[in-house]
Amino acid sequence: MSDELLYLSATELLDAYGRKRVSPVEVVDAALARIEKLQPTVNAFVTVCEDDARKAARDAEAALSNGEGTGALVGVPCSVKDLVPTRGVRTTFGSAVFGDNVPDRDAVAVGRLKGAGGILLGKTTTPALGHKGITTSLVSGVSRNPWNLERTCGGSSGGAAAAVASGQGPLALGTDGGGSVRIPASACGIVGLKPTLGRVPQDSAPDLFGTLSFIGPMTRTVADAALMLSVMAGPDASDPWSRGQPALPDPSLPETLPLPGNIKAAWFPLLGNSVIDSGVKSVVEGAVRSLSGLGLDIEPEEDMLEAGDAMWRAIGYSAQYARMASHLEATPDLIDPSLKTNMEEGMRVGGLDLQNGLFARGDIYRAIERVFGSFDLMITPTLAAPPPAADFDAHRDIEIEGVRAGKLRAAWYAYTHPFNMSGHPAITLPCGWTDDGLPVGMQLIAPWYREDLLLRVAAAFERACPWAGKRPDV
């Protein structure tokens, strides 16, 4: 099997289909073989839809042959994180509690991917309820980083990122409740986009009005992220935040239009954290210089956010407890130990703590909006350090530069969760590798509904500093 076929982007596959150089059957067969080969090591999938995927590939091939394959993703393989409902396909939410759950409907975003001709390969691994930034669970075991199998692929969309990075399909649908698209995308060296709140309907959130959860694309190229976003975005009655949004520009914009002039960007080496790995900082600083070379007017800025970990825990952990309290009593052995620890803290959250957390969420939005009063973009590292061990205990402190820097949310991915609180769109891009070969990500953030600006800047950076040709040796 040719690695070149496995690493073709979605846009390249669509072009190849149009020129009849490759067929959907051939591509899906190659992806399924790759999944089978890497499952014992990378462990990116919890459920593989082999028969359905092969049938869909045959149908796509017939449609293309008859000139009827007009969908934006016709014949393109994709995967869906196991937190997102898929009709007729087991959806465990990463928890043994729901090990036999088979939804009778697709999430809106999944339905749109399928409606555009995307072929579902399977469901990718996630920790239970996406509760941590490391992908381990009682359902699927330990998922690993294809760049170094001893390291974590991140989380909670860890299987999705590992799959895309290692040639197990070009497109993955992830969810992001505190960085869960961007953390693993950075750790695995791919593109991860968290859109504006409501841009892609999130119809599965228990709290529709107060949700921190976003659905976003995970891909190897910026063009694929733009294409996938264009398919999934748009209003739906199931998500109140999706209503009234401005139209998403043409997905071809990132590739065909030059950067607009006079883009002012604020560069934040720290954002609610106190320590960053020197190697990571050096790589991201190099990327910032590259952006300056593309014409961006970039100014370094002092951190303007308070540490937000306690606030996030008050909101997030109390929600986890509320959602799983009955199962904790009925089936305690089916609940992951780290989720139990979260729930134990969540059950102690009082009304005052919760309301103060919600007030703090508003303060974060206002602080970020003040930045956008003077700047068009924000730039940060995506993660403060390379990914820790694959089985890292999410309740341990992480060491950065030989210092105990704090828990993962406070110290490792402090850069991501503020934008879940504020609703602003954010994208992570591969911007280099550490001396020992681990990917480093740079995060760009834009005002609400300015995914077009994010994608145009990201595409310009990708042209100047391409990464898609660098592949893990798995």
Active site residues: 81, 156, 180
- Which residues are CB-neighbours of 59 under 8 A, at least 6 positions away? none
The secondary structure of 423-441 as a DSSP string is ---EEEEEEEE-TTS-EEE
Sign of CA dihedral 103, 108, 110, 112: positive
C-alpha span between 373 and 421 (Å, rounded) = 18
Residue (of 272, 201, 130, 214) closest to 423 by Cα position: 214
Report how far apart, in Å, the C-alpha atoms of 254 and of each of 110, 120, 199, 221, 409 are. Answer: 24, 26, 18, 11, 31
Instruction: Dig out the tokens for 368 from the structure.
Output: 């970020």
CB atoms within 10 A of CB 142: 17
Instruction: Put residue 179 in one of left, alpha, beta given phi > 0 → left and psi -120 to 50 → alpha.
Output: left
- Are 55 and 15 in contact by the 8 Å Cβ rule? The answer is no
Count H helices and E strands in the chain, helices first: 16, 17
Residue with tokens 């009082």: 350
- Are 212 and 420 in contact by the 8 Å Cβ rule? The answer is yes
Q: Which helix (H) or strand (E) holds 371?
A: helix 351-372
- Are 325 and 347 in contact by the 8 Å Cβ rule? The answer is yes
C-alpha span between 329 and 319 (Å, rounded) = 16
